[in-house]
Amino acid sequence: MGLSVTLTVNGVPRTVALDDPRVTLLDLLRERLDLPGTKKGCDRGQCGACTILLDGRRANACLALALSHDGAEIVTIEGLAQHEQLHPVQAAFIEHDAFQCGFCTPGQIMSAVGLIAEGQAGEDPERVREGMSGNLCRCGAYQGITEAVVEATRAVRGDAA
């Protein structure tokens, strides 16, 4: 019997046939749905490069089996901007030079979006650093990343107010 999984990805329902039950969400997004913005760093849950929003919460796509998340809602970096309008987190990353090579950046941004939605860190740089600690940056752009997340938190709160 053929296996398949149905997901809503960046607002679009997608059904994908699977020939292997061990396919991860990361490989499904990158290789089957042509969404390569989600990066494969370690492929073992240690770097955060593959961070997506899974049913509204940040998750490492390399650790999630696609079949286990049938029916889930997924947002990837490709789904953040709306009609050419950058998400406040994306805009803040540019404003604060929060990247160098950019490899970790999609994961950093998705993690920041999740962190802001969780509302745990607020505008406290120390708590932001702690909340973002699952996302590694080999270029060491941490200062800019923290500043960007703090500013984006303000922007998102301002929009919501």
Which residues would be at the binding site for ligand FES (CB under 6 A)? Answer: 40-43, 45-50, 60, 62, 99-105, 137-139, 141
CA 160 from chain center: how many Å? Answer: 21
Ramachandran region, residue 26 (left: φ > 0; alpha: ψ -120 to 50; beta: rest)? alpha
What residues form DSSP beta bridges with 67?
Answer: none
At its nearest, how many Å lie between ligand FES and the CB of residue 127? Answer: 21
Q: What is d(CA 114, CA 98) in angstroms, rounded to the nearest whole number?
A: 17
Nearer to ligand FES, 122 or 134 (CB): 134
At its nearest, how many Å lie between ligand FES and the CB of residue 110? Answer: 11
Contact 74, 53 (CB under 8 A): yes
Nearer to ligand FES, 86 or 101 (CB): 101
Nearer to ligand FES, 116 or 141 (CB): 141
